[in-house]
Structure 1
Amino acid sequence: MQAIIEIGYLLATLSFLGGLKFMSSPKNAKTGNLIAASGMTLAVVITFISAVTETVPYTNLIILFLAIAVGTVVGKRLSDKVEMTGMPQLVSLFNATGGGCAMLLGLVEANQMDAATAILGNKILLISGLITGAVALTGSIIAERKLAGKVKDRRTKLVIFSARFLLLLMFLLPGLYFIGFIPVEFTVFMYILAVIAMVYGVLFVLPIGGADMPVVISLLNSITGIATAFAGFVYGNKVMIAGGIFVGAAGILLTLLMCKAMNRSLMKVLAGTFKKSKGGAVEEEQEIKGISVSETALALSFAQRVAIVPGYGLAVAQAQHTCGQLQQMLEKRNCEVDYIIHPVAGRMPGHMNVLLAEANVEYSRLKEMDEGNENMSQYDMVLVIGANDVVNPAAENNPDSPVYGMPIIRAHESKQVVVMKRSMGKGYAGVQNDLFGLDNCSILFGDAKVSLQEIINQLKLI
């Protein structure tokens, strides 16, 4: 039986690797998810079988089965009901449950462990898993609240100082405990660490701005993976170790890639700092040119090549399906349509890719930022839907701008730009978009879904 269990865990681990490989491409991401989910299902079944063969009390088995059943039902209902605008919040909540699980495992094992005879390595693993899990738990909850607009940024000196102080405590206290400077029982010490780590998780995320939330979500996901790996070492569970390492490593790599895409160092993101304009420079008044639906439709009717730059506003308006309909109509008119995706567009990694996949947009139509920029001058029109900071020319030509240095989609280099916006509100970075004042840029005000539908209706008449 032990051999079957080990083989099952090996197959589950291989499925995680295969799932990650497939998920590296939006085209095969659904298949990758199914492969990884199948592996996780296998791992859960094998773990349940292992518990039965090791004569675990039936009461514990019933609790385990009920927990799996409740988690399955709740998770399915939440994922079915959530809209794309709420997907980042759901991801954060799911991540919080993973962190909370790692923290509880640390507390449960600490209660059962004989601290006098336990080896130092196991204690260190328990502490590491507890701390990382607790930070991921509360940090993810605060990230979810900020994404939902329920919690505002708190970039005060007190918050930042407190967070750094608690971080220092989390590094120092275990060492002081092991050399005998903290005369309390190991279980009590673990509860103290859990409280400190949970408070740190809150203070860690509070100062970080909304524009950096995709990076924070990815980093917290990585922390949860690391916590899972620590728990796997404690239990000697190979699939927990492998899965945790995969999630942790993938999360760290994705975090660094997104920081590069924003021209931001990870340390600045974690510190909640953002470059400020020099000398409090006053923003120049822009001459905004409006454009009507009929004028936009007429310009599109003559276009041979169009690029669509989606942003979070597309998700808010639930306009992805209407956008896909516009694409199909233009293609029937022999117009080539591409979607240019910025690495940090939306509120979480891959948000726009998932949004467009929901509207059955072919993967071949999705272009990465660099590829789109190379061909930007060939586009007759760029339709910017709900994006702001990722098309701001100030990132390239205004050294005093807070977004200076961030790689952008150079929509301004196309022949004509139409930006669909509800109002002249600023993006997450809170700075003026220089694109709006350029001669080749016009603003189409209104709800994106309504405007797109009206454009489609007008095109049918042309």
Structure 2
Amino acid sequence: MIAVISPSSNAIGLLYLVTIVCFILALRFLSSPKLARRGNWVGGVGMIIAIVSTLLLDGIGNWVLIVVAAAIGSVVGVVGARRVKMTAMPQMVALFNGVGGGAAALVAIAEFHVANGNLDTTPVVSTVLSALIGSISFAGSLIAFAKLQELIGGRPITFPGQNIFNAAVFFGAVGLGIALIAGVEDQWVLWLLVALAVLFGVLFVLPIGGADMPVVISLLNAFTGLAASATGFVLSNTVLIVAGMLVGASGTLLTLLMAKAMNRSVSNVLFGAFGKVQAGAGAGMRTDDGRTVRATTPEDVAVQLSFANKVVVVPGYGMAVAQAQHDVRALAELLEERGVDVLYAIHPVAGRMPGHMNVLLAEANVPYDALKEMDEINPEFPQTDVALVIGANDVTNPAARHDTSSPIYGMPILDVDKAHSVIVMKRSMNPGFAGIDNELYLEPQTTMLFGDAKDSVVKLIAAVKQT
């Protein structure tokens, strides 16, 4: 049985209080790009204090296993931090989040096994919740990782009667949990609950498209926090309870904010199969009004950029895939040397996780004050000479404002179409995850620079130097 905190452990309790304060301050600092690095350090210090304090508890044994596990975890963490590219950070976040949920489920199973099913009411409720929520988070996060890593298709995967089948699996797991709480002591019941929860986690994420991954990652993060908090009740560990609730609350709030940024309900994100390929969707741009898509060259774009007063870069997933953030920064520095004001427009759901574009641009040493959130940058577009859109699609589509039949109608977008000139960098005319054409590409002030984003930006840099 894992040791619990004794009420007389005043020193440990004080250290745990310091840990909780560190976690709260870390969340506060992480809300600002300028203070995010400090937030990571503060959170890391708090976690070290929590680990050391726990190891000082009476009754801690199996030191060999603890040392081996700590060594393995440390190696994975160091390798992940140093070798995983920023473009793959969403996958890493999903994977680590799943590990947290899986750990919570394993603790619940271990505690139930040691107690041989003989638990008091509160611990057994916590054990059931920890096993149920942790298993869902574990399996769901692995599927999210597979989608982001393109091990499976990023499009929604659905089958007839899926929602009904999912509901049956979920309520089956809940029913087993109720049986355990009612006094059933057979361990196979808990194992079956975990199996159904894992199955539900898989089925839960499969029908969600890649464009909704920011919302899903936030929600799964909240699940892991709740599972960790429930585990805290199982172990009578105050810091685990508080830390888990902090993660659960912040993840839930972020999920709601992400859904609001897309003008969609959380239920629509989870059960709407948004992004499913429809017959004929995105087959070609509409030209019934005589408008056509116009292509441009790096040399022509370089002239516009060199003689502009204000340029706004609009990064999207295409920039992340091409790993073009460092070249974008180099282009911006070149323009700034010529007196051009360069800003970056950040949409809340651009990329594959909350803050994805902020992370990529921060890696390229883009100044924090140049990163502008949607509400802050939109009033700037009418005074913008050139808007340089790099791989952003649905978040720049004007159809969201006026086309009531569009699946993205009502979604707040970046008002790039109000800029004097719009340059869109894309590989092809394929639609985004919404599966619809972008009306921005037909606007008279818009031209398309086709090709890989990184290659196109490198060509722009060379052309600007010769201008």
TM, length-normalised to structure 1: 0.94
SS in 2 for 1:340: strand
Q: Secondary structure at the match of 1:104?
A: helix
- 1:52-201 equivalences in 2 (<5 Å): 54-57=58-61, 60-116=62-118, 118-152=119-153, 153-179=156-182, 185-201=185-201
Aligned equivalents of 2:240, 2:348: Cα separation in 1: 30
Question: How many Å separate the matches in 2 of 1:14 and 1:300?
Answer: 47
Across the aligned residues of Structure 1 and Structure 2, the Cα RMSD in angstroms comes to: 1.9
User: How many residue pairs end up in the alignment?
Assistant: 453
Q: 1:145·1:151 contact (CA, 8 Å) conserved in 2? A: yes
Say whether 1:274 aligns with 2:277. Answer: no
Report how far residue 437 of structure 1 moved. 0.8
Aligned partner of residue 27 in structure 1, secondary structure: coil
1:212 corresponding residue in structure 2? 212
Say whether residues 1:28 and 2:32 are aligned partners. Answer: no
Q: Cα deviation per residue 1:273-331 (whole Å; 9 max; x = unaligned)?
A: 33999998986236110010000000111100110000011111111111111111111
Equivalents in 2 of 1:33, 1:448: separation in Å? 31
Residue aligned with 1:157, SS: coil
Quick check: 2:177–2:190 contact (8 Å CA) kept in 1? Answer: no
| Aligned ranges 1:230-309 → 2 under 5 Å | 230-274=230-274, 284-285=286-287, 287-309=292-314
C-alpha separation between the residues in 2 aligned to 1:291 and 1:279? Answer: 30
Matched ranges for 1:315-326 at <5 A:
315-326=320-331
Structure 2: how far apart are the matches of 1:80 and 1:38? 19
What is the DSSP-based 3-state SS (H/G/I as helix, E as strand, rest coil) of the residue aligned with 2:345? strand
1:280 to 1:405, Cα distance in 2 relative to 1, 3 A: farther
Q: Is the 8 A contact 2:400 2:408 kept in 1?
A: yes
- The offset of 1:172, in angstroms, is 2.8
- Aligned equivalents of 2:31, 2:402: Cα separation in 1: 33
Which of 19, 22, 35 is the matching residue for 1:15?
22
User: Counterpart of 1:292 in structure 2: which amino acid?
Assistant: T
Q: Aligned partners of 2:20, 2:332: CA distance in 1, in Å?
A: 40
* C-alpha distance in structure 2 between counterparts of 1:217 and 1:175, whole Å: 28
Unaligned runs of 5+ in 2: 1-7
Is this contact kept in 2: 1:166–1:196, CA < 8 A?
Answer: yes
Q: Distance in 2 between matches of 1:278 and 1:72?
A: 45
1:175 Cα deviation after fit: 2.8
Task: Please report the TM-score for the alignment, with normalisation by the length of structure 2.
Answer: 0.93
Q: CA deviation at 1:455?
A: 1.4
Distance 2:123 2:186 in 1: 12
Describe the SS at the equivalent of 1:417: strand
1:64, distance to aligned residue in structure 2 (A): 1.1
The 2-side partners of 1:95 and 1:115 are apart by 28
Whole-Å separation in 1 of the counterparts to 2:111 and 2:141 = 24
Q: Secondary structure at the match of 1:449?
A: helix
Segment drifting more, 160-169 vs 138-147 = 160-169
Return the letter of the residue paired with 2:174: F
Distance 2:355 2:348 in 1: 7
- C-alpha displacement of 1:210: 1.1
Q: Which one-letter code corresponds to 1:13 in the other structure? A: I
Report what 1:48 is aligned to: 55
2:393 to 388, 393, 396: 388
Match of 1:411 among 408, 411, 416: 416
Shift of 1:360: 0.5
Q: Is the 8 A contact 1:341 1:367 kept in 2?
A: yes
Partners of 2:135 and 2:217 in 1: CA distance: 15
Which whole-Å deviations, capped at 9, do the CAs of 1:94-133 have from their partners, x for residues lacking one? 01110110000010000011434x2111111100010000
Equivalent residue letter for 1:171: V
Q: What's the offset of the Cα at 1:352?
A: 0.2
Between 1:273-282 and 1:66-75, the stretch displaced more is 273-282
Calculate percent identity across the aligned residue pairs: 45
Q: Matched residue of 1:168: which SS?
A: helix
Provide the C-alpha distance between the structure 2 equivalents of 1:276 and 1:401, rounded to a whole number of angstroms.
14
Map 1:330-345 onto structure 2 (within 5 A).
330-345=335-350
For 1:289 and 1:199, how far apart are their aligned partners in 2?
48
Counterparts in 2 of 1:317 and 1:8: CA distance versus 1, 3 Å: same
Separation (CA, whole Å) in 2 of partners of 1:56 and 1:322 = 51
